[in-house]
Copies of this chain bind each other. A is one copy, B any other.
Amino acid sequence: MLARVRASGLKLTPQRLAIARELAGDPAHPTAQELFERLRPAMPTMSFATVYNTLDALAAARLCVSLSLSPGAARFDANMAPHNHAVCDRCGLVRDVPSCTNGEPLAEIAPCVNAAATGFSLRAVERIYRGVCASCAADVPTSGRSRAGKPR
């Protein structure tokens, strides 16, 4: 992994190492804010901008991706294997879901996309499973107070 960081022309700094490790060890897709708060005790001098800079650098090196699945802060994912995401409508929690129903190769889907968006060059298909996570379903199971205007 260190090799992969350096192979990308990135310098290996303590901040990058800490952020990469924290991200790789957390399947819950933390936000930049969460990463910053978790790492601050260990690296009190690190600034917030460094978290963003580092995440951008890691993303450019294809070591993580940023996810904009729900309103609010972006979440970051160090899992670079193809997979999908389950997103809770209420709390915004994101869980990885393996691509278990994956059958269609891109080449099959592309014509369909191009019929609607002429000239669109398809790179990837992403699936988002919308719903309510177990812990949100447990709290206030009635009342339907889900946030309005959620992405479909």
Contacts and interface: CB of A to CB of B under 8 A. Distances in A.
Interface of A: 55-57, 59-60, 64-71, 74, 77, 86, 88-89, 95-98, 100-101, 104, 108-109, 112-113, 115-135, 137, 148-152
A56 B22 CA distance: 35
The quantity of this chain's copies bound in the complex is: 2
A124 B137 CA distance: 16
A122 B131 contact: yes
A124 B130 contact: yes
Contact of A112 (B77, B100, B117): B100
Contacts of A117: 86, 95, 97, 133-134
Given A66-B71, A98-B116, A124-B129, 10 more contacts: A68-B151, A95-B120, A113-B131, A117-B133, A119-B137, A120-B133, A121-B132, A124-B130, A125-B130, A126-B127
